[in-house]
Amino acid sequence: DAKTTQPPSMDCAEGRAANLPCNHSTISGNEYVYWYRQIHSQGPQYIIHGLKNNETNEMASLIITEDRKSSTLILPHATLRDTAVYYCIVRRTGANNLFFGTGTRLTVIP
């Protein structure tokens, strides 16, 4: 799998946008970028994924750079319930499963 690099922790003020970066400089042309989050004591929750184009859904936006070497997950209006560990995963070509790194622990501050 293409290696991903995420900051170990970040803080964000409640109500502000949370921008979580991910570096994946060795990504291959047909590998997707996935984002999950894990709130304490729960199973990972799917957030969003993309290949080349930016993606948006009801939870977040995913911005992938043109060279695809990095991406940013944006939570537009962070709430306290968004406090979690966020995992950026590059899914290798042909793989049906996911390999998790250590993620970014996001803390939303009141």
In the complex, which residues of this chain contact another protein (CB under 8 A)?
A: 30, 32, 34, 36, 41-46, 49, 51, 87, 91, 93-94, 96-103
Return the SS3 of 80: helix
- What amino acid is encoded at 87 in this protein? Y
| Minimal distance, residue 70 CB to another protein, in Å | 20
- Taking the least distance from each CB to another protein, the nearer of 26 and 45 is 45
Euclidean distance between CA atoms 102 and 110, whole angstroms: 25
| Minimal distance, residue 4 CB to another protein, in Å | 11
Euclidean distance between CA atoms 107 and 29, whole angstroms: 33
